[in-house]
Amino acid sequence: MKKIFLCFCSAAFLLSCNNEKTEPAAAPEKSTADLPYTASYSSSFTTDVSDADLKMVLTTYKDWADGNMSGLENTLSDSVEVDFSSGDQFAGTKADLMKLWSTYRDSLSSVTIDMHAWQKMYAADKKTGHIVVWYKEVDTYKNGKVDSAMYHDINRVKDGKIVWYSQYKRPLK
């Protein structure tokens, strides 16, 4: 009985060996669908953004929640553009942006962020990296007012610094 079992195991082992070479995966085919729109910025995204850039961007949210404005400032490019959820836009130096953000952050006694998801996106044709995040933020003002909202942000990263930031907000009731 032991010999039959040993022969059976040996045969199973030999049959499970595979010497066939596998072909590398083919590059994804370009879509040939007749789409109603052409992307004005890019439709050629990969996830080829470094984990260091991802960590840097996520740390900015932790710095904001903790009130660490100097940590947040260190992540910004010398000149930066911001599209605020209010529709306002900013294009200037990080020092000027930090004055705006510091004044607003100083009006808050606490910030809680529940990070729901993030995605690394690299626009190959533009050679730009983006970190897109989705999260819930609860702001408690020093006067006791509490404000909460769902956010969707896009952080464009170049040379390890944030160069553009765009925020979309849906208030919670």
Segment 120-173, tens digit of pLDDT: 999 999 999 999 999 999 999 999 999 999 999 999 999 999 999 999 999 998
Strands ordered across the beta sheet of 76-83: 45-46, 108-123, 128-141, 146-158, 161-171, 76-83, 89-93
State how far the Cα of 129 lies from the Cα of 122, in Å rounded to an integer.
4
Segment 4-35, tens digit of pLDDT: 444 444 444 444 455 554 444 444 556 568 99
State how far the Cα of 120 lies from the Cα of 126, in Å rounded to an integer.
15
Q: What is the pTM of this model?
A: 0.79
